[in-house]
Amino acid sequence: MICGLLIGKDRSEGVPGKNFREIVGRPMCEYGFIAARAMGVDRLFTSTDSPRIAEIGAKYKAEHIERPPELATPDALTEDALTHAADEMERRIGRAPEIVCLLFANNPAIDVKLLNEGVEILRMDETYDSAFSVCRYDMFSPTRARRVTEKGDIEPFVPLEAFDGEVSSIRSSQGGVYFCDLSVQVLRWRCFTRMSEGMQPFQWMGRKSKALMNDFGFDVDSEWQFRVIDFWLRDRGFTEDKIPYDLGDPSNWT
């Protein structure tokens, strides 16, 4: 069984109301539900403390898992919210699903082709715990990262001695720099049951994760990102009136 799980909170610190803010004519959180139905998940869930997210999810027959208040604060860990959701999913289904496609309410740039690719990888190779989309952002190389001291001085964020070889101003001097964009996250069930064993900072990745190459994307937490994601969606065929996927017959959704 393949399940979809969309998570999102009612309140946001960075951009208040971002999960419901319209982008290309739809609330941002709706794109995760669209992607899940487009790929044909067997069961769809949403873990949220937000009545609005739950209501939007209901249009796609997403089963609402009420997130406890203590797991919806700014300091609450995603890992704890996922563990809570996983326990409830297993209880409702009556057994553990094989694979979960994890979706974030604030990340609408979801490539359905990569979701399916991730599922196929996990089915073909049991050694992988997960498959995550990554983007190459050499301009954000850790050799370029800086911190600003209390005095306003600029210093390396990471001691440059930690890097092998010569550090230069060339973006790719340390090789390709990849970031998990958190748009496509395909997880084997053991990622939830062995959460404490996973890689930091995203422990739900497990210990071994396959890279799914993406062009660009990110979970939205700043105003400027809305314009970039608007371009991403329109470039892939989304408009205010149509979506580029066949969602099938809603009467067959479970």
Domain at 6, CATH number? 3.90.550.10
Res 244 pLDDT > 80: yes
Tens-place pLDDT, residues 22-46: 999 999 999 999 999 999 999 999 9
Q: Which amino acid is present at 128?
A: Y
pTM over 0.85: yes
Do 164 and 182 belong to one domain? no
Domain that holds residue 236: 2-135+178-252
Q: How many domains does the chain have?
A: 2
**Tokens for 132?**
């995550």
Do 202 and 228 belong to one domain? yes
Tens-place pLDDT, residues 185-226: 999 999 999 999 999 999 999 999 999 999 999 999 999 999
User: Residue 14 has what pLDDT?
Assistant: 76
User: Residue 160 has what pLDDT?
Assistant: 86
Do 127 and 188 belong to one domain? yes
Mean per-residue pLDDT of the chain: 95
Do 148 and 185 belong to one domain? no
49-69: average pLDDT: 97
Beta carbons within 8 Å of 222's beta carbon, 6+ residues apart: 14, 15
Do 146 and 127 belong to one domain? no
Tens-place pLDDT, residues 148-189: 999 999 999 988 888 877 788 888 777 899 999 999 999 999
Do 125 and 202 belong to one domain? yes
Alpha carbon distance 6, 86 (integer Å) = 12
For the chain, the helix, strand and coil percentages under 3-state DSSP, each to the nearest 5: 35, 20, 45
